[in-house]
Amino acid sequence: MLKAKHKTGLVFFPAFDWAIDPTHPEREERLLYTQDQVVEEGLLDIDGLVELKPDLVTAADVERVHFCLPDPAAVMTESHFISAGGATTIGRAVMEGRVEKGFALVRPPGHHAMRIVHGARGFCNVNIEAIMIEHLRQAYGVDRVAIVDTDCHHGDGTQDIYWHDPDTLFISIHQDGRTLYPGSGFPNELGGPNAIGTTLNIPLPPHTSEEGFLYAIEHAVLPILEDFKPQLIVNSAGQDNHFSDPITNMNFTAHGYAELTRMLKADIAVLEGGYAIEGALPYVNLGIILAMAGMDYSHVQEPSYEPERLRQSESVGTTIAKICQLVKAYWDQRGAIAAEVRAKPGCDKRSRQIFYDTDGIHETQEERIQLCAECGGALRIDSQSDRGRRILAVHIPRKACTRCQAQGRDWFEQADVKRYQRVALQDRTTDSYSVRSA
Amino acid sequence: MIVGLDVGGTHTDVVLLGTAGVLNEVKVPTDPDDLFQTVLSALDQITADVEPHRIERVVMSTTLTTNAIIQHKLPAVGMIVSGGPGIDPGLYRTNDHYVCISGSIDHRGREIKSIEAEEVAAAREQFMTAGIRNVGVVTKFSTRNPDQELAIARQLEGAFDKVFLGHRISGNLSFPRRIVTTYLNAAVHPIHRQFFEAVRKTLAQKGWDVPIRVLKADGGNTSFEASIDYPAQTIFSGPAASVMGSIAFGPEDGEALVMDIGGTTTDMAILIDQVPLLDPMGVELGGHKTLIRALKTHSIGIGGDSAVRFEDGRLLVGPHRDGPALAHGGPTPTPTDALVILGKARRGDRDMAFEGFQPLAVAMGLAVEDAAAKVFEHTCRLILDAADAMIARINQQPVYTVHEMLAGKKVAPSTILVLGGPAPLVAEKLEALSSLKVGVVPRWAVANAIGAALARTTCEVVLHADTERQTAFAPEENFQQSVERSFEHRDALRLALELLKNKAIARGANADHLEMEVTEDLQFNMVRGFQTTGRNIRIRAQVKPGLIHDYDPVAGRLM
């Protein structure tokens, strides 16, 4: 009988009765052929591959990460509670040692969902990785976490949530934002003044092949992970870098995804995007599962695979080498860069416009972070949408120093509730979420 | 009248049933080396005073094929397997003559790579040279497109007794299980055929021209003729017989746990509204995971004759058996001895049990009676713990839709039905320990044979329609039809039920009492480039396992 080298947990939740709308890429059919492949290959009969039933997350799990307007139930469907729950189920199984590694093959995805949620962006409503990670931090005391986002789109939601957190390393590898949604994720996006360098972006040129992806993993991601020494590595495993994906322009392969998985050695993988539902997903997922379990994936190959057509041009290779060098340099010099950033007046403030493409909402944010050498810093966000909703959101980070705790509470208590629908405090030191309203 | 016969490891139970209930019951010892004689002797005894023409049919559950598999006494067969991309099919080798060839079909049934005739010809030569009589052929995704299996079969025509094709064995996915199941069918085929033909011939010589039915692992029966093509369906029918013998006593509206307490093992199953729960994938036997439809049963190595000992401060029961109980001349203390010592069991030599129990009692630091009470209670507790674990596992079964997830139906039995040798002796204790209602199945010692006799004919159909490719396909039925793009869900449903009805009648079901139900019903719009290009429809329908009409199964009241 076949045996997995690493005991691996799988949550499979294809949400066969849920879609954004009937012809949307995020629809019922998305994981149908993946399920067929997984069942036909007999993966779940392999000794050491365990299918786990997803739990549902609670509103408290969501509010540890997000400020939802007006509340979690209003911006989430049941399917979101289950997909975030599936990721969390895998996380718990890993933390409790019931499995060595785990993969949450769930939908809908989450990596475009930011800290403030007015609606859906990039097919995402809530950030399922962040909800899982904060649950694990709360339940098991995990501290240092690395997230490697290998979806073809920049993981701007996860970046936003961990922008000010020096204990969460977020690395996103994606197709260059000048050529693809959401148009962000450039190497100079390095995190807030209290957390410079723990956000890193590796934009790859269109038509990057297996060679280029694995180069970036080997020359940028792995050495940085080695330095950061995370207790937990999470892979946001989007599968839309595949050469057959209908909404992106990359040349990655099922075999390449398996290789990447083997090299990255993530403890937990969570499915993100990937919309080549017939030609890519069944094979990519098979490759990822076999690689996580430490099994042979050399026979995994998609029917339309033609190595000649997927060869990477020399200029693409050169561009990737330069970007990796740059990102590595930013990482190595993060201390000096931080000092430079913090010396600039106004570095504690950001003004942003955020567009929710899926729901067509425009949001304006005024953000302020308390500069702090001891913790991630108290965070205050004044957010208003064109639907007329306004919130003052205050976040006190998990390891906040007494000064930042006091500042956060002060912001919360002193806010003029008449100017907002809601004033909310997300206090991670007490794991509480409080609301004041007029 | 119907004769029901269940060959067990130690005893063979046989009953004669009339419409009003059990007319006669007989127990004969099983001779594992000559099941044929065992069966004949049981049939002779039960029908001693019956006129042959009054027997409507004989339904048999035997350990014949099960034993052959567990004891690795299977004849050589040839396997031809084609995998395509994915896990290397060489890793699923089932036997010596196992040949992997090229070819590939994808998840929607499209041919990606054709098979090579020379490779098939070479395998054919190899098998013929080795004197192989039966062959199995399996390709990946053959349940979506059987053409490659059929093409291979054409090339093998005339050279072998029988060629088993994966897509006919089961309509379900799982390439490794399809390989194993096809292999087992090919391998047990000659054993099964020879045995039942011999039984039929012998009965015919006695002037008995009655149909023979064979019990399957799913608790239903099938005609002997149909069983020839799917002989592996008859493996592991023993536990199914007991469950079928209990179902009339389960709550009509509610759940029950069936416990068959034997000498070596206790087998458990679940009834929901008097219908036994089926295993979602298939039976697992001797390390083989198969696609053979089966009742969800769980077997633990704890029974009346399990070896009891006290090691490192812990009382251990089973999973092995050293022989009969002390009270019956055996070597080691057993739960049966505890019952004898406590005066609950009448049979057996109490002095021998008492004496043999003494070292155990000393080790436990208790008087012999107290030790016996402790052993008895501990055994019951272990059985109940295993039952709880089984129920927890069933409730952890993943579901794939938001609706099912939120509906969250959980199995929570209100009743335990006990049968098997010590059933009436343990019922009270189980009730005290579990807080569930515990009942003893009447005629608990032969309920298995009654179950075999009264089981109805069951079968399943899987239909897959893909209107973009314009096909509707029921692999096991060898049914393939091209359909219009307008083919809809309700057309698929109608077609599946029609196929099921024909199949059930062909296998011996009573056309007036077909209890058909749809067990899987999925439809997906296939969207390519923001256009709906077709529908992918998946229907699975079955004749539920249950009891036949016109015979009273309630042979007595629940004790």
* Per-residue pLDDT reduced to its tens digit, B219-275: 999 999 999 999 999 988 888 999 999 999 999 999 999 999 988 889 999 999 999
The answer as to whether B447 is a domain residue is no
Residues B369 and B432 in one domain: yes
Residues B503 and B357 in one domain: no
pLDDT of residue B555: 53
**Catalytic annotation on A112?**
yes
Cα gap A148→A171, rounded to integer Å: 5
Residues of A in contact with B407 (CB under 8 A): none
pLDDT of residue B554: 63
- The CA–CA distances, whole Å, from A13 to A55, A105, A237, B405 equal 11, 6, 15, 10
Mean pLDDT of A40-55: 95
Residues B106 and B35 in one domain: no
Residues B162 and B90 in one domain: yes
Residues paired with A149 in a beta bridge: A172, A236
Tell me whether strands B460-466 and B471-474 are parallel, antiparallel or unpaired: antiparallel
Q: Do the beta carbons of residue B450 and residue B555 sit within 8 Å?
A: yes
Q: Which range has the worst mean pLDDT, A335-339, B419-423, B482-486?
A: B419-423
Chain A nearest CA to B105, separation (Å): 9
- The CA–CA distances, whole Å, from A288 to A238, B199, B446 equal 11, 53, 52
- The 10s digit of each residue's pLDDT in A389-430 is 999 999 999 999 999 999 999 999 999 999 998 999 999 999
Q: Do the beta carbons of residue B80 and residue B136 sit within 8 Å?
A: yes
Amino acid letter, B209: D
pLDDT confidence tier of residue B445, bands split at 50, 70 and 90: confident
Q: How many CB atoms lie within 10 A of CB B428?
A: 13
Percentage of chain A beyond pLDDT 90 is 93
pLDDT of residue B408: 78
Residue tagged 């050491």 (tokens): A48
Q: How many CB atoms lie within 10 A of CB A413?
A: 11
The answer as to whether B448 is a domain residue is no
Within A67-143, where are the H helices?
A: 72-75, 78-95, 128-140
Domain locations in chain A?
Answer: 3-334, 347-436
pLDDT confidence tier of residue B557, bands split at 50, 70 and 90: low
* Residue B25, domain CATH: 3.30.420.40
B173/A contact by beta carbon, under 8 A:
yes
Q: Half-sphere exposure of B246 toward its Cβ, with a 13 Å CA cutoff?
A: 36
Fold of A3-334: Arginase; Chain A (3.40.800)
- The mean predicted confidence, pLDDT, of chain A is 96
Residues paired with A436 in a beta bridge: A423
The answer as to whether B537 is a domain residue is yes
How far separated are the first and last CA of chain A, in Å rounded? 64
3-state secondary structure of A1: coil
The reply to whether residue B406 touches residue A78, judged by beta carbons under 8 angstroms, is: yes
Residues B30 and B173 in one domain: no
Percentage of chain B beyond pLDDT 70 is 99
Mean pLDDT of A140-159: 97
**B349-366 per-residue burial string, b: 16 or more CB within 10 A, e: under 16:** bbebbbebbeebbeebeb
DSSP state of B74: -
pLDDT confidence tier of residue B318, bands split at 50, 70 and 90: confident
A336/B contact by beta carbon, under 8 A:
no
Within B3-146, where are the H helices?
A: 35-46, 64-70, 117-129
Residues paired with B43 in a beta bridge: none
Chain B nearest CA to A302, separation (Å): 7
Chain B nearest CA to A40, separation (Å): 4
Residues B178 and B141 in one domain: yes
Residues B129 and B197 in one domain: no
Q: How many CB atoms lie within 10 A of CB B346?
A: 9
DSSP state of A114: -
Q: Which segments within B358-459 are labelled E, that is strand?
A: 415-419, 437-440
Residues B390 and B269 in one domain: yes
- The 10s digit of each residue's pLDDT in B481-509 is 999 989 999 999 999 999 999 999 999 89
Residues B398 and B283 in one domain: yes
- The 10s digit of each residue's pLDDT in A263-322 is 999 999 999 999 999 999 999 999 999 999 999 999 999 999 998 999 999 999 999 999
Q: Which residue of B has its CA nearest to A78?
A: B402
Q: Find the helix or strand (DSSP H, E) in which B250 lies.
A: none
Question: In Å, how far from its chain's centre is CA B84?
Answer: 31
For B:76-135, CB contacts with A below 8 A are 83, 85-88, 91-92, 104, 106-108, 110, 112
Domain count, chain B: 4
Q: Which of B288, B527, B538 should one mutate to test binding to chain A, selecting the residue with the greatest count of A CBs within 10 A?
A: B527
Closest CA to A188 of A75, A390, A337: A337
Q: Do the beta carbons of residue B26 and residue B45 sit within 8 Å?
A: yes
The reply to whether residue B402 touches residue A35, judged by beta carbons under 8 angstroms, is: no
The answer as to whether B259 is a domain residue is yes
Percentage of chain B beyond pLDDT 90 is 75
What pTM, to 2 d.p., does this model score? 0.93
Q: Do the beta carbons of residue B482 and residue B470 sit within 8 Å?
A: yes
- The 10s digit of each residue's pLDDT in A202-216 is 999 999 999 999 999
Q: Do the beta carbons of residue A281 and residue A249 sit within 8 Å?
A: no
The reply to whether residue B398 touches residue A13, judged by beta carbons under 8 angstroms, is: yes
Assess whether pLDDT exceeds 70 at residue B559: no
pLDDT of residue B553: 67
pLDDT of residue B166: 97
Q: Which of A40, A56, A77 should one mutate to test binding to chain B, selecting the residue with the greatest count of B CBs within 10 A?
A: A40
pLDDT of residue A372: 95
Assess whether pLDDT exceeds 60 at residue B177: yes
Cα gap A384→A388, rounded to integer Å: 7
- The 10s digit of each residue's pLDDT in B32-91 is 888 899 999 999 999 888 888 899 999 999 888 888 888 888 999 999 999 989 999 999
Amino acid letter, A367: E
The reply to whether residue A296 touches residue B88, judged by beta carbons under 8 angstroms, is: yes
Cα gap B357→B377, rounded to integer Å: 16
B392/A contact by beta carbon, under 8 A:
no
The last residue of one of the domains, among B169, B187, B205, is B187
- The 10s digit of each residue's pLDDT in B179-189 is 999 999 999 99
The answer as to whether B372 is a domain residue is yes
pLDDT of residue A142: 97
Q: Which residue of A has its CA nearest to B92?
A: A1
For residue B16, give its domain range.
2-71+191-241
The reply to whether residue A45 touches residue B83, judged by beta carbons under 8 angstroms, is: no
Residue tagged 């940085």 (tokens): A224
Q: Do the beta carbons of residue B89 and residue B176 sit within 8 Å?
A: no
Amino acid letter, A112: H
- The CA–CA distances, whole Å, from A132 to A120, A145, A189, A259 equal 19, 11, 24, 25
The reply to whether residue B532 touches residue A51, judged by beta carbons under 8 angstroms, is: no
The reply to whether residue B107 touches residue A246, judged by beta carbons under 8 angstroms, is: no
Catalytic residue among A66, A112, A154, A164: A112
pLDDT of residue A177: 96
How far separated are the first and last CA of chain B, in Å rounded? 26
* Residue B131, domain CATH: 3.40.50
A227/B contact by beta carbon, under 8 A:
no
pLDDT of residue B435: 84
pLDDT confidence tier of residue B404, bands split at 50, 70 and 90: confident
Cα gap B182→B175, rounded to integer Å: 10
- The 10s digit of each residue's pLDDT in A83-138 is 999 999 999 999 999 999 999 999 999 999 999 999 999 889 999 999 999 999 99
B405/A contact by beta carbon, under 8 A:
yes
Within B396-529, where are the H helices?
A: 402-407, 423-434, 447-454, 489-506
The reply to whether residue B140 touches residue A40, judged by beta carbons under 8 angstroms, is: yes
